[in-house]
Each structure stands twice: as structure tokens, then as C-alpha cells.
Amino acid sequence: MMKKILNKKTLGYISLAVACLMIGSGVLASQPAQAANSVMTSSSSSPFVEPIAKVKDSVVGVNNYQLVSTNYNNYGNGYGNYFPWGDFFGFGGGYGNGYGNGYGNGNGNQDSNREVKYGSGSGVVIAKEYVMTNYHVVEDASSLEIAITKDGVEDAELYKATVAAEDADLDVAVLYVPGLDLEPVELGDSDALQVGDLVFNIGNPIGFNGTVTAGIISGLNREISTGTSTDRYGRTTSVVNTMIQTDAAINSGNSGGGMFNLDGQLIGIPTLKYTGSRYSSSATVESIGMCIPVNDAKTVIEKALAADVSAFNGANSASAGAQSQNGNVQNNLNGKPRMGVTITTLTGSAVQNGALPRGAYVIEVEAGSPAEAAGVQQFDIIVEANGTVISSTTDLTGVISALKEGDEVALKVFRTGVDLSNAAEIPEDGEYVDLTLTLAIVDAIAQ
């Protein structure tokens, strides 16, 4: 009996399947044109098609070339200059040279200045002859080139590029690209974004030029620690950026490309993605990418567009010889203009480990002196004078001795308000302060 029931059910299922197949075949046979039109209408109704077409040709490739040393007679154990950009959370731009340039541990002939393509990322045209990308895409480059992609194919012509403005902590750089004639994208307002907004990314992940991925804004104001940064004065701090989270895929090579809204406006710069290895070997993390808000990058853009393009390959710096007096200096007291401070070179473990910057430590500020008038305070660390980085008292006296009465000195000091000479703990809330001092001839304080 059971066997008979099962046979009836089975036959029923088979009959239903055959009927569905016949109905489907009949529809397809009788209305092939209608089905095709339906598919086309569905495809073209995507809200992404129009904005992608608007901006896709404005996303370019950025090639980073660096000088390397290689031994080329012995092919030993080297795996080449693999440069994934991605030590932090597996983010970045390009897969570099692959396994190519490492020629092993032999003692063969050495080519010490060979320039190689060290990595690739993406960039977006934000003004005529200007491309914005990530700082880490162009970091340490001996030269940069911009590659144009049309319909997913890289154009043969490459354009030389120079960094016009950069912010290493924010991870943004703007490049000047003479002769690049591509339509700039429109900058959007990243402060107006809402969770759930539709967005798309365009970039060149692992060599797939002009790749588009789509998704939504998954989160806003994500505070992401991107490691540490050591400033030009030797102070090391943690770098935390506020980013936009999206589930639109970001992979190596997307770095520096664009995240756009449905109006085709640039609202973010794809920068990093999370991977499971950061937390545990068993964790699986998918679709968590981070982008720099475009509003945060606008200051760097403005700086680049206001810069003198002839100065991109050089920088002016001031330097001068100097003298110090037994490690403690009162700036030349014999009729020469001076600041009116007693200083000493800051040393110790706090300087060595980057908790404090290098500089000239202010032991005392004279009453009525130019330093007091300018706002210099006891326990300040003078780290820069007229553009010269100050690492010692010698550096500072060298700058001052080259000036005359009435000259202005642009100072940068690091201020904690605490006596650092014997401090058990270093304050974490110190800040850099810019001051302007006018040199004068001031009688020496009573000895």
C-alpha cells in the first residue's frame, strides 16, 4: 500500500515538472521578442548605469616606480619586490612586481639604481591636469605615471605625474599631470551621506582596469586606527581617521579610486578593507571596506590647486652654521639681536622613543624679551624656526645668528605646560603652537 502511494506522489511531481517545462517552453517559443525586450528593459533600468557612464573614464591608474638594488648573477632564494600596499588590513593599490625582481643571495654584479614599477593603484581626475589618490599609493616613489583606461583597456600612452600636495596621516595625495585631458568629476558632500545610500566604487583591482562594484553606505564616522606616524620633528603618534564604511567591494588596486553616489559625484576615496587575519585565523570577514570622506580631502585639493606648479619638484629650506655654549645657550648677549630664552637640547628616552619631539627645550624666558612678547613659554620645545627643523640648541642659534634686529622669526613649539626635564610621565595632550617673534637687542639678564 505504501509503495502504491509513493508511486502516485512521484508521478504527480513528474507531471507537474513536465507541465512547467511545457508552459515555459511555450512562452519562450511564442514570445521570444517580448522576453528579450524584458531583459533589456530590466538591465537598462539599473540606477547605476547612467552615473557609471558619466565618471568611469575619469578614474585612472597610478603607477609607482622606485629605485632598487639587485644582484643579477645568482638566482637564489629571493621572491622579488612584492609590494601589496596592504600590511594594514590588506588594503591598497596594486600587486606590484609579483615574484619578479629578487635574484637571490649570491655575490653577482649589482645594479644599484634600477627603477622598477613597484606598485599600482587608482586615482580620480578632480580638476584639469590634477588627479587625487591615496598617499600610500605614491609613497617613496622615484617617479609616477598615470595610465588611462577606456572601456576596460589601458591606453598605451602614459603621463608623468608629480605630487602637488599630500597629507600622509589622512592618506591623501593630489598629483599634477601635465597634458592630461580628462573630464574632472564633480565633488559631492560626504557630510550629507546616510546609512543605506546606494554607492559604487571604480578602480583597478589586481589589474582588472575600470572595475565597478556597487553597494550601500554601511556605516558613517568609523574611527579607524591606521597605525602610527612620526612627524618631521621626531614625535610619534597614533593615526586615527574617521571613515565611511561600505559593502561595495574594495580590493588591492582600488586604493585611491573613487566611491560615487547615484549623481556621479565623488563622495569617498576607497582606502582599506578588513580581512579575517587581523583578528583570528578562523574569522571570516566580508564586505567591510573603508573610504576617506571627500570633505576631509578638500583641504589637500585646495592646497594643490593653489600651488605653483613650477615648485613641485623642489622646496626651499633655510640652514645656517651655529655655536652652542656648554649645552645651555643664552642667545649671543654682546649687542646682537636675540630671543631672550635659555635653552638646552632635549634628550632622553622620551625623545628616543618618539613620545616627545626633538628640539631646543626652553628652560627660562626673560621678562620683557622678544620671546615673552611672542608667547614663548617655559618648558616649550622649539622644533622649527623659519622653516628649519630644530633638533638641538646648535640648530636654533644657527638660525638666529644669521638674522638682524627687527627680523621676524616664525617659530613652532611643542607645548605641554609641564617640566619635561624630570617628568615621570609624558603628557599625551601636548600640541604644536605657531608663534611669530621679532628679534631685538635686549640687555642680558643679571648674572
Cα separation, 402 vs 386, in Å, equals: 11
pLDDT at 257 over 80: yes
212 pLDDT above the threshold of 80:
yes
Question: Has residue 44 got a pLDDT over 70?
Answer: no
Top-confidence range, 4-18, 269-283, 298-312, 393-407 = 393-407
DSSP 338: B
Q: Which of 121-135, 163-177, 416-430 has the highest mean pLDDT?
A: 121-135
Please say whether the dihedral angle defined by the alpha carbons of residues 398, 400, 404 and 410, taken in this order, is positive or negative. positive
For residue 110, give the C-alpha cell. Answer: 649589482
Say which range, 155-169, 206-220, 223-237, 410-424, has the weakest mean pLDDT.
223-237
In angstroms and rounded to an integer, the radius of gyration of the C-alpha atoms of the chain is 31
Query: CB within 8 A of 318, min separation 6: which ones?
Result: 386, 387, 388, 399
Give the three-class secondary structure for 232: coil
- For the stretch 194-203, pLDDT in tens is 999 999 999 9
Report the pLDDT averaged over residues 425-443.
Answer: 85
Among 397, 393, 344, 339, residue whose Cα is nearest residue 369: 339
CATH number of 328-438: 2.30.42.10
CA pair distance 348, 343, nearest whole angstrom: 16
CA atoms of 379 and 299, how far apart (whole Å): 32
Q: Cα-flanking dihedrals φ and ψ of residue 21, to 5°?
A: -65, -40
Between the ranges 127-136, 338-347, 392-401, 419-428, where is the mean pLDDT highest?
A: 127-136
Question: What string of DSSP letters covers 103-123?
Answer: --S----EEEEEEEEEEEEEE
Nearest-CA neighbor of 256 among 320, 194, 300?
Answer: 300
Q: β-strand 198-203 against 143-150: which pairing, if any?
A: unpaired
- Give backbone dihedrals phi and psi of 244, rounded to 5 degrees, phi first: -100, 130
Beta partners for 211? 203
Q: Which of these ranges, 102-106, 290-294, 380-384, has the smallest mean pLDDT?
A: 102-106
Residue 73 has pLDDT above 80, yes or no: no
Average pLDDT, the chain: 74
Query: What are the residue numbers of the active site?
Result: 136, 171, 255
| Cβ-count burial 42-53 (b if 16+ within 10 Å, e if not) | eeeeeeeeebbe
Q: What is the pLDDT of residues 268-285, one digit of tens each?
A: 999 987 765 544 445 667
* Helices 2-30 and 32-44, axial angle in degrees (round to 10): 80
Backbone angles phi, psi at 357, to 5 degrees: -75, 160
Given the C-alpha cell 591608474, which residue does it identify?
61
Domain 49-315 falls in which CATH fold? Answer: Thrombin, subunit H (2.40.10)
What is each CA distance from 231 to 234, 236, 356, 432, in whole angstroms? 5, 7, 11, 11
Mean pLDDT within 209-222 = 92
Is this structure's pTM higher than 0.85? no
Query: Residue ranges per domain, the chain?
Result: 49-315, 328-438
Instruction: Please report the pLDDT score of residue 409 as a whole number.
Output: 95
pLDDT tens, position by position, 337-355: 889 998 888 877 778 778 8
pLDDT of 82:
34
Average pLDDT of span 316-334? 32
